[in-house]
Amino acid sequence: MPTNGLSILLLVALLLGVVFLLQWVWRRPLPKEAVSELPPDSRESEVTVRSIMTPEEATLFNLIRLAAQEYFLVLVKLPVLQVVSVVDHDEEARKALMRTIQPFRLDVVLVHPGTLQTVTVVHFQANEPEGKSPEKRNQVVETVLNAAGIKVVRLQLGQSYSVGQVVAMLGLAEEE
């Protein structure tokens, strides 16, 4: 009987040792040799600048900036998880929701300059044929934003707007 207790104790000590060893290995920073640099004369790699928005989106962004820059910080192409936090008692449900909304980027975000909290999100919508419903991920993201108390405004990419129209759509028109 004493040998069983001793063997269990040794097995537990061995397992703890392996766990601590693995934790130490994974937390260590990578050596400088492990991070390869891109040689400047590499013919196999090509790095180019990528536009963050289309010309139509840039036009709408500039209108929004003109309409809202006196009231808000105007940010572009933020990940949705940058503006909301999701807490749920059901961890699996929270993880599923996070996986759904994580790749989504918000087109334009209006942030209150004092509280630094998102007030409004502007979503650019492409002109779609009649009867086609928005993508399910868009609906989930909009539901999450609404639950957080963030106003969602949609602007059509093919349509032209005046600054006054954008001011009214964003709810920034002064009361007379």
Question: Coil, helix or strand for 91?
Answer: helix
What CA–CA distances, in Å, run from 12 to 5, 17, 19? 11, 9, 11
pLDDT value at position 75? 95
Q: Is the pLDDT of residue 90 over 70?
A: yes
Q: Which of 36-50, 53-67, 104-118, 159-173 bottoms out in mean pLDDT, i.e. has the lowest?
A: 36-50
| Residue spans per domain, the chain | 55-169
Q: Give 3-state DSSP helix, strand, coil % of the chain, rounded to 5.
A: 40, 15, 45
pLDDT digits (tens, 9 = 90+) for 146-162: 999 999 999 999 889 99
55-169 belongs to which CATH class? alpha beta
* Among candidate residues 105, 107, 119, the one with its CA nearest the CA of residue 57: 107
pLDDT tier for residue 74 given thresholds of 50, 70 and 90: very high
Q: Which of 60-64, 133-137, 164-168 bottoms out in mean pLDDT, i.e. has the lowest?
A: 133-137
- The C-alpha atoms of residue 123 and residue 138 are separated, in whole angstroms, by 9
* Spatial contact of 36 and 45, defined as CB atoms under 8 Å apart: no
* Spatial contact of 140 and 109, defined as CB atoms under 8 Å apart: no
Percent of the chain with pLDDT strictly greater than 70:
85
Give 83's DSSP letter. Answer: T
